[in-house]
Amino acid sequence: MLQSLSIKQFAIIEELEIQFTDGLTVLSGETGAGKSIIIDSIGQLIGIRASSDFVRHGAKKAIIEGVFDIDNANEAIEVLKTLGIDVNEDFLIVKREIFSSGKSICRINNQTITLQDLRRVMQELLDIHGQHETQSLLKQKYHVELLDKYADGIYEQHLDQYKRLFNAHQEKISELKELESADQALLQRLDLLRFQYDELKESKLKEGEIEQLEIDIKRIQNSENLSLSLNAAYVTLTDEHAIPDRLYELSSQLQTINHIVPEKFQQLKEEVDQFYYLLEDAKHQIYEEINQTEFDENYLNELESRMNLLNNLKRKYGKDISELIHYQAKISEEINKIENFEESTSNLRDEIKELNTQLKLEGEKLSKERRKVARTLRDHIVNEIQYLQMKDANLEISFKPYESPQKDGLERIEFLISPNKGEPLKSLNKIASGGELSRIMLALKSIFVRSRGQTAILFDEVDSGVSGQAAQKMAEKMKEIAKVIQVICISHLPQVASMSNHHLYISKQELNDRTITSVQTLHDDARVEEVARMISGAKVTELTKQNAKEMIEQNQKL
């Protein structure tokens, strides 16, 4: 939900602060007062491309800042986490600065992000719908997604299985194309791969070998110092003052004491004995090490040559030893595949054929389930459209087979509508009437508002071209949507304004030869006055005030 909006130096707005709440909020005012500019400013927060024209004349930059409640915006929170943005609080601060040069900076919770990432986050929070704006709901390519979301998991298992088979099928097709297009280049690559494989195989690479070589080389290079230290350590443990012998004597003395003073020194004797055995063990280890320590120049040369070989291979291939071992196995597989080209392509064709069979079988199951849900969705949409005073409207969900399986299924799914009796079914984006389009979009949004997971929706004069009973029904539908998510609407219709939970009046005035936009929350008489103006136009009479009051009271009861 959008909680607050701050606008500075944006178009004709010098500075404006607006507080929003949940439910249905209507913005009204005279033409040119800045209502749509407010929507444009919010558009900047969801990632609509900026322009230097947005910066108020004479200002260096425009600043728009919005505070959003994200308490239940789970999908948006997941996107924020993937971007590494702190979401410890239940609100989000989104800020956009637009400079007179046309460049802009986007920030979320004071963290600078790209315009693309801003869009990723905000599409999960807020949707702006303008009457003439291109909408995803109108585009055929999104209709299958809307149907699947409406299904709410009914055929999720079939959909997941179809996608898995489709991806596997595409991978095999790509693999086959790669093999078939190789030709002479493939043979040249085979020579290179064989050379690399023989070189790596001859090297007999082993995991951790370089680390062990470093230890062995260091040992031999320092064999003289090592030998001296080992011998000195052995003498310390074996001469006439040897520590183990003294510990043995001490243990015997403590044993005698224990006979006289039972248990008092028993623990001390056990600790002394433990040290004695530790030193005895150390003495044997040092002795064995002395016998193994000698300077062998030939062996050192062998180790250093081996180290040079491995380091040269690392530099040549740009990989460490572990990666080279993996690469050797990989090129072995590729060599085998190229050498058995005909067999490989034949096997791939068989795999593709089998996957295609499975894909079609699973696709048919998916289509069958989709058609069941589509019948329910079709009836739901028609009911919503007819409720909005399009009594003769009809809608069908079209299923047309693709020539070959596609990533979304075996059939092209599209919503087709006939707004009036006798008219043929046609694509949603072919609707000419603005009023009809507005009502259809409102009907669709009322159905898909839950499945799309957003927390706020903005309508920018979607009620243009609508009046009378249709306007009343549209107002009721907006109020219904507002029970689920926050709705902010710019409207010229008194029916919509009187239905709102909150009414904001946008006005402008001239100050020092500049236009200033302001916003006022309307209550009681002020609200009646504005609804009356919307009913009658410029001239407001006592009769229109009475009509406005009755309309507000009646719609608030609804």
Cα-Cα-Cα-Cα dihedral of 316, 322, 326, 328, to 10°?
A: 40
What would you measure as the largest C-alpha separation in the chain, in angstroms? 124
Pairwise CA distance, residues 15 & 517, whole Å: 8
Pairwise CA distance, residues 456 & 513, whole Å: 37
pLDDT at 236: 78
Pairwise CA distance, residues 324 & 304, whole Å: 20
Which region among 24-33, 148-157, 438-447, 451-460 has the lowest average model confidence (pLDDT)?
A: 451-460
Pairing of strands 61-69, 91-99: antiparallel
Pairwise CA distance, residues 172 & 353, whole Å: 10
Question: Under 8 Å CB-to-CB from 352, ≥6 apart: which residues?
Answer: 169, 172, 173, 176
Please write the tens of the pLDDT for every residue from 498-524.
999 999 999 888 777 777 888 899 999
Mean pLDDT, residues 540-545: 88
Please write the tens of the pLDDT for every residue from 238-251.
877 788 778 888 88
Please write the tens of the pLDDT for every residue from 414-446.
999 998 888 899 888 787 566 777 788 888 888
Quick one: tokens of 124? 């999960």
Please write the tens of the pLDDT for every residue from 152-166.
899 999 999 999 999
pLDDT at 108: 92
